[in-house]
């Protein structure tokens, strides 16, 4: 069967409106236990504690906002009046009044993953309804209802909703969530998606082999899976590594023992390096000072939101020390490089970056900005060496020193 593709011009209308997806999503912290009070509190917190200023603008309802469990054939799609007595439009208005955006969740099946009514057969009607409520982001989840469907069928359901969103006339960022199956990254952008998951749900673990090969992926699993997918990311269409686990501290709705502050910082830094959407999955009302410092580092957010939209990959010798030491890099719009020296193992190690070996640049001299120390050093004319503790990633910006240039150091 032949499917019609989204015309390129119309697809661009969506991506020019918002290039990056940075905000919060309800699922990993709360599962279906969401309600108006939680959402209003979350909006208030994000608008006032520095997260909004750092760039976190989407507040996304995941599964569980709907009134009815069961098939769409038997039930309409409505907001649960007990959980959301003022309705979703009032919530969107409230988010907008605070300078934030509201996202919602549905799926192409009769039911969603958590068993609530889906959008099957009502895609245009639902897209119109979301638009009339002032919705800004839709996570459209085919993971469960279409898990074993052939790729062409998954493509069709994504396309149907994508065209329905375009027809609604409201720019709504479109997450075609398919849990890393059906090679979504290869085709989802052409079918109108702005983001797609590259793997199954994230567990609250940095490196926990116990969950490998089961449903949940830890931080290192997701990095490994994404390393060959960088070519599919670009402005307005992103590989989604799943929600941020910072601040969950072992209280995920899924599995996971929690991470150390160093591990959460590495996770956040690496999600920025690979240009994943950055959606906080924990309770923003209880984030501690370490989590806030991690989430609001402007230099990390700048790496995530660089206009070139590149996703970092392992470079150079890459896997030193039996695969424990990896160098990730990506080019930035200003000609500099963002570099991560990632120590996956548990033992402190000396790591190095060579502009010649790892970046294939013939720079005579360069400076190094350590974006967690907020410190610039150099110039250097030899490989830069630094000690990296276990599970840490040193995140660096390397700038060429151009002789006689008057450009100030960053």
Q: Under rule CB under 6 A, which residues in 159-198 are in contact with ligand GAL? A: 177, 179
Rounded Cα gap, residues 61 and 249, in angstroms: 21
Span from 2-10, 68-76, 138-146, 316-324 in contact with ligand GAL (CB under 6 A):
138-146
The reply to whether 54 sits near ligand GAL by the rule CB under 6 A is: no
- Give the pairing type, strands 366-370 and 375-380: antiparallel
| Binds ligand GAL (CB under 6 A): choice among 201, 218, 263, 306 | 201
Position 19 contacts ligand GAL (CB under 6 A):
no
* Shortest distance, position 324 Cβ to ligand GAL, whole Å: 29
Q: Calculate the CA 393 to chain-centre distance.
A: 18
Q: Residue from 11, 20, 24, 27 that binds ligand GAL (CB under 6 A)?
A: 27
Task: Write out the binding residues for ligand GAL, residues 251-280 only, by CB under 6 A.
Answer: none
Distance of CA 224 to the CA centre of its chain: 16
Question: How many angstroms separate the Cα of 342 from the Cα of each of 222, 257, 335, 366, 391?
Answer: 14, 21, 22, 21, 7
Total residues contacting ligand GAL by CB under 6 A comes to 12
Q: Shortest Cβ distance from residue 236 to ligand GAL (Å)?
A: 21
Active site residues: 141, 201
User: Residue 178 Cβ, how far from ligand GAL at the closest point, in Å?
Assistant: 9
Out of 36, 63, 358, 392, name the contact with ligand GAL by CB under 6 A.
63
62 binds ligand GAL (CB under 6 A): yes
- Closest separation in Å from C-beta 48 to ligand GAL: 27
Query: Residue of minimal CB distance from ligand GAL?
Result: 113
- Residue 169 CA to residue 132 CA, distance in Å, equals 10
112 binds ligand GAL (CB under 6 A): yes
Nearer to ligand GAL, 195 or 336 (CB): 195
CA 161 to chain centre: 21
**Part of the chain binding ligand GAL (CB under 6 A), chosen from 136-144, 270-278, 303-311, 396-404:** 136-144
Nearer of residues 58 and 337 to ligand GAL, judged by Cβ: 58
204 contacts ligand GAL (rule: CB under 6 A): no
Judged by CB under 6 A, the stretch of 81-89, 106-114, 207-215, 374-382 that binds ligand GAL is: 106-114
The helix or strand, by DSSP H or E, that contains position 48, with its residue range, turns out to be helix 36-48
Distance from C-alpha of 281 to C-alpha of 279, rounded to nearest angstrom: 6
- By CB under 6 A, residue 113 contacts ligand GAL: yes
From 142, 71, 69, select the one nearest 107 (Cα to Cα).
Answer: 142
Residue 409 buriedness (CB in 10 A; 0-12 / 13-18 / 19+): exposed
Under rule CB under 6 A, residue 143 binds ligand GAL:
yes
Cα 1 to Cα 129, 141, 142, 151, 157, distances in angstroms: 30, 23, 20, 12, 14
Choose one: 108-116, 130-138, 158-166, 365-373; the region binding ligand GAL (CB under 6 A). 108-116
Structure tokens at 153: 């069928």
User: Is the separation of the CB atoms in 106 and 142 below 8 Å?
Assistant: no
Provide the minimum distance between the beta carbon of 73 and ligand GAL in the complex, in angstroms, as a whole number: 20
C-beta separation of 77 from 106 below 8 A:
yes
Q: Give the integer Cα–Cα distance in Å for 181 and 138.
A: 19
Q: What is the CA radius of gyration of the chain?
A: 21
Does a cis peptide bond (omega within 30 degrees of 0) precede residue 270? no
| Interface segment toward ligand GAL; rule CB under 6 A; list 109-117, 156-164, 264-272, 304-312 | 109-117
144 interacts with ligand GAL by CB under 6 A: yes
Alpha-carbon distance 322 to 318, whole Å?
A: 10
Question: For residue 137, what is the enclosing H or E element?
Answer: strand 137-141
| Tokens linked to 202 | 């994230």
Which residue's CB is nearer to ligand GAL, number 69 or number 410?
Answer: 69
395 is an interface residue for ligand GAL by CB under 6 A: no
Query: Which residues inside 337-356 make contact with ligand GAL, applying CB under 6 A?
Result: none
Nearer CB in complex with ligand GAL: 155/252:
252
Cβ neighbours of residue 134 closer than 8 Å, sequence gap 6 or more: 89, 92, 93, 96, 102, 170
Interface positions with ligand GAL (CB under 6 A): 27, 62-63, 112-114, 141, 143-144, 177, 179, 201
């Amino acid at each position: 069967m032949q499917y019609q593709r989204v015309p390129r011009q119309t697809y661009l209308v969506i991506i020019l409106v918002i290039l990056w997806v940075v905000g919060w999503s309800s699922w990993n912290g709360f599962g279906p236990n969401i309600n108006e009070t939680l959402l209003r509190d979350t909006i208030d917190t994000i608008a006032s504690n520095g997260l909004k200023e750092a760039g976190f603008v989407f507040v996304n309802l995941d599964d569980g906002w709907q009134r009815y469990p069961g098939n769409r054939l038997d039930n309409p799609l409505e907001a649960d009046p007990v959980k959301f007595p003022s309705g979703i439009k009032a919530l969107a208005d409230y988010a907008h009044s605070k300078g934030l955006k509201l996202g919602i969740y549905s799926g192409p099946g009769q039911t969603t993953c958590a068993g609530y009514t889906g959008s099957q057969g009502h895609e245009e009607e639902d897209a119109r309804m979301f638009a009339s409520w002032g919705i800004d982001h839709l996570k459209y989840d085919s993971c469960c209802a279409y898990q074993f469907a052939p790729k062409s069928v998954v493509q069709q359901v994504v396309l149907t909703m994508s065209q329905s969103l375009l027809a609604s006339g409201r720019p709504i960022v479109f997450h075609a969530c398919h849990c890393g199956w059906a090679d979504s990254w290869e085709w989802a952008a052409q079918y109108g998606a702005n983001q797609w998951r590259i793997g199954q749900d994230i567990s609250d673990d940095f490196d926990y082999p116990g969950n490998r090969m089961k449903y949940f992926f830890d931080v290192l699993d997701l990095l490994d899976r994404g390393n060959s997918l960088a070519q599919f990311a670009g402005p307005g269409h992103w590989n989604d590594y799943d929600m941020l686990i910072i601040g969950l501290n072992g209280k995920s709705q899924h599995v996971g023992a929690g991470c150390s502050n160093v591990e959460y910082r590495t996770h956040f830094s690496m999600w920025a390096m690979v240009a994943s959407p950055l959606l906080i999955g924990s309770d923003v009302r209880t984030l501690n000072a370490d989590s806030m410092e991690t989430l609001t580092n402007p230099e990390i957010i700048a790496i995530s939101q660089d206009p070139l939209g590149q996703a970092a990959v392992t470079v150079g010798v890459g896997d030193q020390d039996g695969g424990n030491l990896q160098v990730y890099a990506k080019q930035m719009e200003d000609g500099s490089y963002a570099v991560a020296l990632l120590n996956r193992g548990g033992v402190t190690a000396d790591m190095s970056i060579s502009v010649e070996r790892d970046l294939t640049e013939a720079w005579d001299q360069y400076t190094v900005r350590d974006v967690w120390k907020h410190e610039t050093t150099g110039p250097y004319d030899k490989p830069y060496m630094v000690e990296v503790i276990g599970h840490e990633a040193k995140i660096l910006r390397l700038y060429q020193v151009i002789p006689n240039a008057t450009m100030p150091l960053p």
